[in-house]
Amino acid sequence: MAKKALGPAMLELVAAVEEALDRLGEKGAVPLLVGCSGGADSLALVAATAVVAQRREVLARALVIDHGLQDDSDAVARKAATRAERLGLPTDIVAVTVVPDGTGPEASARTARHAALAEVADALGAIVLLGHTLDDQAETVLLGLARGSGARSLSGMAPARDVFVRPFLGVRREVTEAACAELDTKFWRDPHNDDLGYARVRVRKKVMPMLEAQLGPGIAEALARTAVMLRDDTQVLDDLAAKAIPDGVLTDRELSVAELPKEQALRRRILRRWLLAHGAAEPAYTQVKAVDSLITDWHGQKWIEVSGLRVGRRGGRLAVMTD
């Protein structure tokens, strides 16, 4: 495949992978592991990564995760692996057990998938490339808006976080499908992607087309651009919060109210990090706000329940309570 002239869609995708690896600096020279579902996005990423890996002389392979959520999931996984290997990367299949954790089937499956990818990446000393596109990013931002989420959620998916890298966040989904056509590669269409019982599918099938029809083209690009701007702003606030209260202090079971910043945006970021440090599972905005009220509206209330924690105030200090 590498000896054949690349079409315009593949050229765009290869450039996106090259740019993503360049942004990582030295980390971009480690082995590459591509998460492959067999869909157009992930197969196009496999093909683009195969080209880049050959150019850069780095090791690369693909990994197909079999979630076991459909009767024919093993057959789908085998077909995805076969197609990925034809596109130039050796491919393995890993079966996982999706354990419901109260976050919904999509989120539970994602948790199991990411854990498996991270485990294999750790064994290989690799980074994981994921095929999320600009369209996925736009849908994520729109879902966050509908939930009334803050800047952290509206920042969408990060281009790079931990071992995971998303080279295609600036690429439209239609480009990955065009790349598969250029490569004469069939791809799997997940039936869940047509199930309007999922909020993301409703956004994709109903909401986004309506917005484009009523407000004009470019909605997806605008939403993705919003995510980039909010991510930059959020990073600045997170850095300021970290300077105000170092991470080491957050392991203490008590926080001095007097030492917390007066600025609400910084103070609530610190409170969120403090709660996470003591085992709270992604505290919601309302929970962080309630803990903050122990500072801003203290009138002797006993405690606040936060994800299995009890947080109270003892004089001039907030405390994770054990009794």
Render each residue's pLDDT in the chain as its tens digit; 323 residues. 445 789 999 999 999 999 999 999 888 889 999 999 999 999 999 999 999 999 999 999 999 998 877 778 889 999 999 999 999 999 999 998 888 776 677 778 888 899 999 999 999 999 999 999 999 999 999 999 988 878 888 899 999 999 999 999 999 999 999 999 999 999 988 888 888 988 999 999 999 999 999 999 999 999 999 999 999 999 999 999 999 998 888 989 999 999 999 999 999 999 999 999 998 877 888 899 999 999 999 888 888 888 778 999 988 999 998 65
Q: Is residue 187 part of a domain?
A: yes
Tokens of 82: 């076969």
At residue 42, the pLDDT reads 97
Residues 200 and 262 grouped into a single domain: no
What phi and psi, each to the nearest 5 degrees, are found at residue 253? -75, -10
The residues, ordered by sequence, that sit 6+ positions from 61 with a Cβ below 8 Å of its Cβ are 31, 32, 33, 34, 89, 90, 91, 92, 124
At residue 26, the pLDDT reads 83
Question: What CA dihedral angle connects 93, 17, 207 and 113, to 10 degrees?
Answer: 20
Tokens of 264: 């609400």
| Start-to-end CA span in the chain (Å) | 65
Residues 201 and 251 grouped into a single domain: no
Q: Is residue 73 marked as binding?
A: no
Residues 202 and 249 grouped into a single domain: no
- By the 8 A CB rule, do 88 and 1 touch? yes
Q: Is residue 42 marked as binding?
A: yes
At residue 240, the pLDDT reads 93
> Rounded to an integer, what distance in angstroms lies between the CA atom of residue 80 and that of residue 84?
6
Domain holding 54, by residue range, is 8-219
- Residue 307's domain is classified under what CATH number? 1.20.59
Q: Is residue 1 part of a domain?
A: no
Q: Is residue 2 part of a domain?
A: no
Residues 96 and 195 grouped into a single domain: yes
- By the 10 Å C-beta count (0-12 exposed, 13-18 middle, 19+ buried), 110 is classed as middle
Question: Which amino acid makes up residue 124?
Answer: L
Q: Is residue 319 marked as binding?
A: no
Q: Is residue 41 marked as binding?
A: yes
Nearest to 94 by CA among 119, 76, 126, 116: 116
At residue 3, the pLDDT reads 59
At residue 48, the pLDDT reads 98
Residues 89 and 145 grouped into a single domain: yes
Residues 57 and 167 grouped into a single domain: yes
At residue 2, the pLDDT reads 46
Residues 86 and 198 grouped into a single domain: yes
Residues 27 and 131 grouped into a single domain: yes
Q: Is residue 227 part of a domain?
A: no
**Total domains, the chain:** 2
Residues 178 and 269 grouped into a single domain: no
> Rounded to an integer, what distance in angstroms lies between the CA atom of residue 137 and that of residue 148?
17
Domain finish residue from 173, 204, 219: 219
Rg over alpha carbons for the chain, rounded to the nearest Å, is: 22
- By the 8 A CB rule, do 270 and 261 touch? yes
Residues 195 and 78 grouped into a single domain: yes
> Rounded to an integer, what distance in angstroms lies between the CA atom of residue 169 and that of residue 20?
10
Neighbours of 234 (CB within 10 A): 18
